[in-house]
Amino acid sequence: MPTALITGASAGLGRALATELATLGWRLVLTARGAERLEQVAADMPTPASVTTIAGDVADPEHRALIVRRIDQLGRLDLLVNNASTLGPTPLRPLAALSPTDMSTVLAVNVIAPFALTAALLPALTAARGVVLDISSDAAVEHYPDWGGYGASKAALDHLTLTFGAENLDLACYAVDPGDMQTGMQQAAFPGEDISDRRLPSAVVPALLELITSRPPSGRYRADDVTGAVDRGIGAAVTA
């Protein structure tokens, strides 16, 4: 049974992708910090018996070790989705207003955790000729005021993703900019703003599935550019 690990799977894009993969018959290992919401999401899956939940913070090395142990027990990993992420302190603020501790936290979640999980899971992923899907952002390549901490972390994530791809030719490694979505993270970035013009996270899932199944060369992709896969009807004109 194809097996996927998805971080940040209790909401937003991670949850939408997990639900679709469960429908397609994948076995899932899901993680997020909040145990209650994660358990509920797993219970709501089309095939709850094929879902393992491990609640914890991806920035915590002990939590990552638990995840890796579980994958070892399952003996197979076809897909790693590094999706959990933080904006850092909100409201978003200029770089000069970020403390080194703020920056360390952003890097721990958005860079160190995906790096460490990917490195630890390389043997299982290589054995399966698997896929690494790292969820990036347009902030990785654009320079918006107040988005510098998050953007720098996503730029570093892109670099790691593409280098893992160059070093591991049996793997497909994708850094994917999903575009704006109606999620908790988007609302936190735009407090008080009506974000209903952004697309639903489920609208991005077909682009992710297209990458996983058609397996283009490792690299950075915008979900909007993955041919025919994104529902262009909602929020297509919205940037960031």
Does 88 interact with ligand NAP (rule: CB under 6 A)?
A: no
Does 180 interact with ligand NAP (rule: CB under 6 A)?
A: yes
Q: Applying CB under 6 A, which of residues 181, 203, 207, 229 lies at the interface with ligand NAP? A: 181
Distance CA(142)–CA(35), nearest Å, equals 34
Q: Whose CA is closest to 212, among 104, 129, 106, 149? A: 129
Distances (CA, A) of 153 to 1, 64, 106, 111, 157: 33, 19, 7, 6, 6
Distance CA(48)–CA(30), nearest Å, equals 11
Sign of CA dihedral 23, 210, 32, 4: positive
Number of residues located near ligand NAP, criterion CB under 6 A: 31
Instruction: For the CB of residue 183, give the shortest distance to ligand NAP in the complex, in Å.
Output: 3
Q: Which is nearer to ligand NAP, 56 or 128 (CB)?
A: 56
Instruction: For the CB of residue 53, give the shortest distance to ligand NAP in the complex, in Å.
Output: 11
Does 186 interact with ligand NAP (rule: CB under 6 A)?
A: yes
Q: Which of 144, 150, 174, 221 is catalytic?
A: 150
Q: Which is nearer to ligand NAP, 126 or 138 (CB)?
A: 138
Q: Which is nearer to ligand NAP, 129 or 143 (CB)?
A: 143
Instruction: For the CB of residue 27, give the shortest distance to ligand NAP in the complex, in Å.
Output: 19
Q: Which is nearer to ligand NAP, 170 or 197 (CB)?
A: 197
Does 184 interact with ligand NAP (rule: CB under 6 A)?
A: yes
CA 114 to chain centre: 9
Q: Whose CA is closest to 157, among 202, 99, 112? A: 112
Residue 62 region, left (φ>0) first, then alpha (ψ -120 to 50), else beta? Answer: alpha
Distance CA(183)–CA(91), nearest Å, equals 16
150 given a catalytic annotation: yes
CA atoms within 13 A on the CB side of 139: 23
Considering only residues 17 to 76 of the shown chain, the ones binding ligand NAP according to CB under 6 A are: 31-34, 37, 57-59
Considering only residues 127 to 166 of the shown chain, the ones binding ligand NAP according to CB under 6 A are: 135, 137
Q: Which is nearer to ligand NAP, 146 or 180 (CB)?
A: 180
Determine if the peptide bond prior to 206 is cis (ω within 30°).
Answer: no
Does 85 interact with ligand NAP (rule: CB under 6 A)?
A: yes
Does 183 interact with ligand NAP (rule: CB under 6 A)?
A: yes
Distance CA(40)–CA(34), nearest Å, equals 10
Binding site for ligand NAP (CB under 6 A): 7-14, 31-34, 37, 57-59, 83-86, 109, 135, 137, 178, 180-181, 183-186, 201
Give the residue numbers marked as catalytic.
150
